[in-house]
Amino acid sequence: ILNVEQSPQSLHVQEGDSTNFTCSFPSSNFYALHWYRWETAKSPEALFVMTLNGDEKKKGRISATLNTKEGYSYLYIKGSQPEDSATYLCAFISGGYQKVTFGIGTKLQVIP
Amino acid sequence: DTEVTQTPKHLVMGMTNKKSLKCEQHMGHRAMYWYKQKAKKPPELMFVYSYEKLSINESVPSRFSPECPNSSLLNLHLHALQPEDSALYLCASSPLTGGRSYEQYFGPGTRLTVT
């Protein structure tokens, strides 16, 4: 069983605050790390696909970093807006086969 | 067409019923996945089909039977389910080519209730 952990599990921030959360995963047999946003009543949607140690990706106010040697990824949201409220899932993809293991997610609520 | 569709959206079935869930994509993706998601838990991988062949079965009970008739369609046949099988069943697909080969494109899910 692969251990993919996310913290915190729940987060409330004020509109305009910046925030970040963590995904930790096994440091061996790494193929890729994905971040997804899952809004209520919608399908999870990919934010970032990260494959190389040291990768940094950015999409608007959201960015992510990857450290495969120590087995963690950070997701940052700058100047949170109410529309950022969602559950953010990370998914670890093991090398050699297509097993996708999701973390439990971080549920973010941005208070106007 | 860049979406994954799932039918039905909701399903209520008794423990002796036989029903099927359907998933379809027309993006030319060559991998398709079934996940089970219970409240406050992450999506849990059940099955993976790649190039229409079953490549991963995560020790799922035989009362769940997947089928991939062609590269666009994925079914999950349900028989003699238990109440604890009630969950959201998510389907996803991946391209299997290019730099984002395992990126999951999810459908909206089927909310299953077993009575």
CB contact under 8 A, B41 and A104: yes
Which amino acid is present at A109? Q
Contacts of B43 in chain A (CB under 8 A): 44, 89, 102
Closest residue to A43, CB basis, from B48, B55, B107: B107
One-letter amino acid of B89:
Y
How confident is the model at residue B82, as a pLDDT? 96
| Span A41-87, pLDDT tens digits | 888 999 999 999 999 999 999 999 999 999 999 999 999 999 999 99
Is A13 near chain B, with CB under 8 Å?
no
Q: Span A78-103, mean pLDDT? A: 90
Nearest neighbour of B56 by CB, restricted to A42, A99, A102: A99
- Candidates A98, A101, A107, partner chain B, best to mutate (most B CBs within 10 A): A98
Please tell me the distance from the alpha carbon of residue A101 to that of residue A87, in angstroms, as a whole number.
16
pLDDT tens string, chain B, 115 residues long: the values are 669 999 999 999 999 999 999 999 999 999 999 999 998 888 999 999 999 999 999 999 999 999 999 999 999 999 999 999 999 999 999 998 877 888 999 999 999 999 9
**C-alpha–C-alpha distance, residues B115 and B93, integer Å:** 30
User: How many CB pairs lie under 8 A apart between chains A and B?
Assistant: 58
pLDDT digits (tens, 9 = 90+) for A18-37: 999 999 999 888 999 999 99
Strand partners, A72: A24, A67
pLDDT above 80: residue A2: no
Radius of gyration, alpha carbons of chain B = 14
- Asked if B40's CB is within 8 angstroms of A97's CB, the reply is no
Taking the mean position of all CA atoms in its chain, how far away is CA A29? 19
Smallest CA-to-CA distance from B33 within B66, B82, B69, B81 is with: B66
Mutate: best of B44, B89, B96, B104, partner A, most A CBs <10 A = B104
Q: Which residues of B touch A (CB under 8 A)?
A: 4, 31, 33, 40-45, 48, 50, 55-56, 90, 94, 99-100, 102-109
What average pLDDT is seen over chain A? 93
- For residue A111 the two structure tokens come to 């208070």
